[in-house]
Amino acid sequence: MSNRNNVAPRHIVLAFSGGLDTSVALVWLKERYRCRLTAFIADLGQGEELDVAARKAEKLGADEVRVVDLREEFARDYAFPMYRADALYEGQYLMGSSIGRPLIAAAQLRIAEEVGADAVAHGATGKGNDQIRFEMTFAALRPDITVISPWREWEFASRTDLLAFAGRNGIELDLSSGERPYSIDSNLLHTSYEGEVLEDPALPAPAGLLFRVNDVADTPAEPETVEIHFQSGNPVGVNGTPLSATGVLETLDAIGRRHGIGRLDIVENRIFGMKTRNIYEAPSGALLWHAHRAVQSLVLDPEVAQLKEELMPRYAALVYRGLWFAPERLMLQAAIDFSQQDVTGDAVLRVHHGGVQVVGRRSPHSRYDVAFATFEADDVFDQRDSSGWLRVSTVRFRAGRRAGAVDR
């Protein structure tokens, strides 16, 4: 699978973003292997930077540049299944980057097939998570292809070395901020920031560094209400308007941006065991997470709901570790999707000054029954029946006392 045997490739497809790492990788790969190179740029909703990246790849010597619109596939086939699971890594992170990498890698293999390439390459570092996500996907879908990871092969040891190489080779970088570049990843779901000025977790992010959502101080004075419509666990419309999967994310992103929703500053545990400080802005994801759980709460059988909560951390860890195409993730997805068949309905959220509050939910499949829930007199639940249930359920405590068990 890897290029450890130094097999000379004939044609490489490089996953290219236009940032420092992949720009240096493109030039280095051309110098090192002197073969045909296709720069593959995945459109996951980054916006204007795609055209800039395409022009840059051509200027740096790519023989061909392929820009592929993956936005709808990303939303429908990757983001939404993950949201049906309510997945949060370490109870916080909505995994906007984690879920994008398997799709990029899978699409990269499709491009390799189309152009007849015998090798794929990525710009992920040798100590980060993304190399694992790329290469787990390559292994699951096409284990015979040669994989080149420049960060594990070249002589450079740091981004300082990359900057020096870029200077020597005329690789243009956006250093308009006056700071060394830090790592940014953007797509329909989120923007992530890490490295450089953010590496000290004791310090807040410098003013002006984050750009996806408004600071709370700059959000509207009045709250806004948003209604999200679900069909079998998937969001299908906002405020009464049916939307495509991409349209849902774009609409909610705009609402969340306006009200400062979804900003998260955390220290997380990477796959290799080191801790890293990351800042994420995920306005659409934060709104969907709350809304989905609101509709779901009406519908799921109580034991199914509990089991789903227990499965979620395992599912989230699989996504984070790049195991999207692994059989265990597919097995869990089947169980999750079984639970979502009746998760149809609407959730009403109030967003204000960075906060999200569920203020209403309804579903045609709701199990909520006022006759059972009321504290007033009813004719469906005999409160005396609880005595028998409690007596049976506490047998073990009474048995322990008789056996002389010691309280701890």
Q: What is the CATH number of the domain that holds 245?
A: 3.90.1260.10
321 is in an annotated binding site: no
Q: What b-and-e string marks burial along 105-117, b requiring 16 or more CB atoms within 10 Å of the CB?
A: bbbbbebbeeeeb
Of 122, 155, 185, at which residue does a domain stop?
A: 185
Asked if residue 82 is part of any domain, the answer here is yes
The tens place of each residue's pLDDT in the chain, 408 residues long, gives 455 446 799 999 999 999 889 999 999 999 999 999 999 999 999 887 899 999 999 999 999 999 999 999 999 999 999 999 999 999 999 999 999 999 999 999 999 999 999 999 999 999 899 999 999 999 999 999 999 999 999 999 988 899 999 999 989 876 544 444 568 899 999 999 998 889 999 999 998 889 999 999 999 999 999 999 999 999 999 999 999 999 999 999 999 999 999 999 999 999 999 999 999 999 999 999 999 999 999 999 999 999 999 999 999 999 999 999 999 999 999 999 999 999 999 999 999 999 999 999 999 999 998 666 556 666 777 788 889 989 999 998 988 877 776 555
Same-domain check for residues 88 and 146? yes
Asked if residue 389 is part of any domain, the answer here is no
- Please tell me the distance from the alpha carbon of residue 310 to that of residue 336, in angstroms, as a whole number: 11
369 is in an annotated binding site: no
Same-domain check for residues 112 and 158? yes
Asked if residue 290 is part of any domain, the answer here is yes
19 is in an annotated binding site: yes
Same-domain check for residues 40 and 166? yes
134 is in an annotated binding site: no
Instruction: Look at the pTM and tell me if it is higher than 0.85.
Output: yes
Place of tokens 């990351």: 278
165 is in an annotated binding site: no
Domain that includes residue 59, residue range: 11-185
In this structure, what DSSP letter does residue 93 have?
B
* Residues belonging to the active site: 21, 101, 130, 183
Domains identified in the chain, total number: 2
Of 159, 185, 211, at which residue does a domain stop?
A: 185
Same-domain check for residues 226 and 349? yes
23 is in an annotated binding site: yes
Same-domain check for residues 251 and 157? no
Q: What b-and-e string marks burial along 122-132, b requiring 16 or more CB atoms within 10 Å of the CB?
A: bbbbeebbbbb
Asked if residue 195 is part of any domain, the answer here is no
Same-domain check for residues 181 and 111? yes
CATH number of the domain that residue 81 is part of: 3.40.50.620
CA angle, residues 346, 347, 350, in degrees to nearest 5: 145
**Contact status, residue 349 vs residue 164, Cβ threshold 8 Å:** no
Place of tokens 């002006």: 208
C-alpha radius of gyration, the chain, whole number: 25
Same-domain check for residues 219 and 246? yes
- Please tell me the distance from the alpha carbon of residue 179 to that of residue 35, in angstroms, as a whole number: 35
Same-domain check for residues 88 and 177? yes
